[in-house]
Structure 1
Amino acid sequence: MSAADFAAANLSRATGAGLDLHEYQRVTTNLANLDQWGAAFMRVARGHLARAAQATTAISSAEHFQAAARWFHFATLGPNREHALAAAEADTAMGRALDLLEPGARRIEGPGFTGWLRGPADAAAAAVVVPGLDSSKEEFHDVINALLRRGVAVFAMDGPGQGVLTATTTVRADYHHVIGKVIDALGVESVGLVGLSLGGYYVAESAAREPRVAAAVTVSGPFRLDWDALPPPVRDLLAQRAGGEDAAHRFADQVNLSGLAPQITCPLLVVDGGQDIIPGVTNGQPLARLASRGRYLHLPHGDHLLGNARPDWLAAAADWLSGELT
């Protein structure tokens, strides 16, 4: 894939995550080939770090640290010889932003997960935001902020094979074990879950097997994967995150909610975009149909992660989840 095609494919994802549209276009337009992606994005991120150091107010400094975190994260989506460093820098920059903006934010870590708990300490409800195959806790600021504005405490996490844990862990299909440890660490009786992309599968699998999940939202989550039909770039990415092609094949074979969906008894909102068509991936309509309290929101014009359709689903999903939790 050319750099231009890859940039176009990730445009709505980038803007949805908070990258400035014009800055993104300036950077990606100047890429001679895709191999320059990682280095170019890390240069922009370091530029924001420099601005953070020069800022005259804590707010401005924190905003640049947040921007740096996003750019470092997006540096991991394309070819990057310094993938682990970029993920670590994203993690560090986000931590520095929260130190300035939200001193009450808490870093919580456990076996197979790490992340930030944000929001009021006395919040009546907590939500866990679960990233996907190549996303991380630094990506979904709009989802996190929408829930925070509604009084919900939010734990934004990296799990096995995700974000800052990519260098030391591999993906696992039985994600409910991770969610169970997260709930234990949060010290709450129940949580709401929001899963994006492959995180949608993780959330649905957890809702079926972890009784402390009170409500769940999936966004562009797969119902089933067919390894043989997946495009080569997706298989390659799975192999990277699973620790090899054989492990990736086994993982893909486990991503199948046919038997688990009827076991989901909590309220479930499934959000899909009609333009999100990937060979080998079955979208979420069967999940919503088979879950006893499933609800399906299909946006015909929405792409993967629905970054091109935020007004059509984000506020409604945040309202729905906060309402179910409180």
Structure 2
Amino acid sequence: MNVADLAAENLTRATAAGLDPHEYRRVTAELASVDDWGQAFVRAARRHLVRAEQAASPISAGEHYQVAARWFHIATLGPYTDRTTADTTADTEAAAEAAADADAAMRRALEILEPGARRLDGPAFAGWLRGPADASATVVVVPGLDSGKEEFHAVTSALLRRGLAVFTMDGPGQGTLAATTTVRPDYHQVIGQVVDALGVDRVGLVGLSLGGYYVAESAAHEPRVAAATTVSGPFHLDWPALPPPLRNILTWRAGGTRAARDFADQVDLSALAPRIACPLLVVDGGQDDISGVTDGEPLARLAPRGEYLLVPYGDHLLGNAHADWLPAVADWMSGTLASA
């Protein structure tokens, strides 16, 4: 893949994550090679750190820290190709450093902009609880294969505006935990830890990309899940048919090819979908067509209380169509939890 294709492929994801599209185009236009992706985005993040230190007001400083966190996170999404062991090790170390920097920048941002935000860490998760202390319900935002808690700010903001408390998290193989843990298919064990740490008796879940599988799997096993939404989540993965870039990412996040294949073989909701007792809203983009990935329509059809929302022109994660699903999802989650 050349630089222009990589930049175009990630445009809606980057802008949905909160990056200014004009700044994104300026940064990616300077890339000489796809191998420069991570370093270029880290440099952009550091420029925002400098602006934060020089800001004339705490609010401006907090906003720059927040943007820096997003640039650091997107820096971890560089291309994963079959290269030498030395190159792969260097990529992994650079991604781990960028993820740690994203975490640190978001901490600084929340200390300034939302001093009431609370950090929660457990054996298999790390994240931020935000929103009113007396919120009537709490929603957990679950990231996907190579995403993390710094990415889905628009989803978090939409839920916060509706008076909900929101816990944005990294789980095994995700974000700050990617350097020390690997992906696991029994994600309900992680969600159980999260609910225990939150100290609540019920939660809503919103899962994006592979996080959609994690949410559905958790809803089938964890009785404290009161409502669940999947966005671009897979119903089934077919390892041999997955495109090489996706297999490479999964191999890194799983800790090896055999582990990645075993993980992919277990991503199948055929038997679990009928066991999801809570209300379930499944959101797909009609332009999200990845070979080897079965989208969410069968999940919505097989789940007893499933609903399906298809945005015909939506891409993966529907970053190009927020108005067509995000307000509806936030309203649905708020209303469903209120009536649960």
TM-score bracket for the superposition, by shorter chain length: over 0.9
Q: How do 1:111-190 residues align onto structure 2 when only pairs under 5 Å count?
A: 111-190=123-202
1:222 maps to 234
Counterpart-to-counterpart distance in 2, 1:49 and 1:123: 32
Counterpart in the other structure of 1:33: 33
- Partner AA of 1:73 in structure 2: H
What is the deviation of 1:29? Answer: 1.2
Give the letter for the 1:126 counterpart: T
State the alpha-carbon separation in 1 of the partners of residues 288 and 150 from structure 2: 22
Q: Distance in 2 between matches of 1:323 and 1:92?
A: 34
Paired residue secondary structure (1:157)? strand
- Give yes or no for the alignment of 1:312 onto 2:324: yes
Please give the per-residue CA displacement for 1:157-202, whole angstroms capped at 9, x wherever unaligned: 0000000000000000000000000000000000000000000000
Supply the RMSD in Å over aligned alpha carbons: 0.6
Alpha-carbon offset, residue 87 of structure 1: 0.2
Match of 2:298 in 1: 286
Residue by residue, what CA displacement relative to the aligned partner does 1:277-313 show, whole Å, maximum 9, x if unpaired?
Answer: 0000000000000000000000110000000000000
Mapped partners of 1:4, 1:158: distance in 2: 30
Separation (CA, whole Å) in 2 of partners of 1:129 and 1:10: 21
Structure-1 separation of matches of 2:214 and 2:154: 20
Determine the structure 2 residue equivalent to 1:23: 23
Residues in 1 aligned to 2:217 and 2:42: alpha-carbon distance in whole angstroms? 34
Shift of 1:33: 0.9
Q: Distance in 1 between matches of 2:114 and 2:37?
A: 32
Secondary structure, counterpart of 2:325 in structure 1:
helix
Structure 2 SS opposite 1:82: helix
Give the corresponding residue for 1:101: 113
Paired with 2:114 and 2:25, the residues of 1 have a C-alpha distance of: 31
Gaps of 5+ in 2: 80-90
Query: How far did residue 266 of structure 1 move?
Result: 0.3
Distance 1:234 1:240 in 2: 10
Alignment of 1:222-301 (within 5 A): 222-301=234-313
**Alignment partner of 1:246: what SS?**
helix
Matched with 1:13 is: 13
Give, in whole Å, the separation in 2 of the partners of 1:7 and 1:256: 31
| Letter of the 1:161 counterpart | G
SS of 2:126's equivalent in the other structure is strand
Letter in structure 2 aligned against 1:244? G
2-side partners of 1:175 and 1:195: how far apart? Answer: 12
User: Which amino acid counterpart does residue 201 of structure 1 have in structure 2?
Assistant: Y
Instruction: Quote the Cα distance in structure 2 between the aligned partners of 1:246 and 1:153.
Output: 39
Distance 2:78 2:71 in 1: 12
Determine helix, strand or coil for the equivalent of 1:116. strand
Partner of 2:70: 70
Partners of 1:120 and 1:41 lie apart in 2 by 33
**Cross-structure match for 2:84:** none
Q: 2:96 aligns with which of 73, 84, 90?
A: 84
Q: Distance in 1 between matches of 2:255 and 2:75?
A: 21
Deviates more, 1:100-109 or 1:76-85: 76-85
Could you tell me how far apart the structure 1 residues matched to 2:188 and 2:289 are?
A: 27
Once residues 229 and 267 of structure 1 are traced to their aligned partners in structure 2, the CA distance between those partners, rounded to angstroms, is: 31
What is the distance in 2 between the residues matched to 1:19 and 1:11?
Answer: 9
Q: Please state if 1:210 is matched with 2:222.
A: yes
CA distance in 1, matches of 2:106, 2:337: 27
TM-score after normalising by structure 2: 0.95
Inter-partner Cα distance in structure 2 for 1:2 and 1:122: 50
Q: Which runs of 4+ in 1 moved over 4 A?
A: none
The alpha carbon displacement at 1:261 in A equals 0.1
TM-score by length of 1: 0.99
Residue-by-residue CA offset, 1:188-219 (whole Å, 9 max, x unaligned): 00000000000000000000000000000000
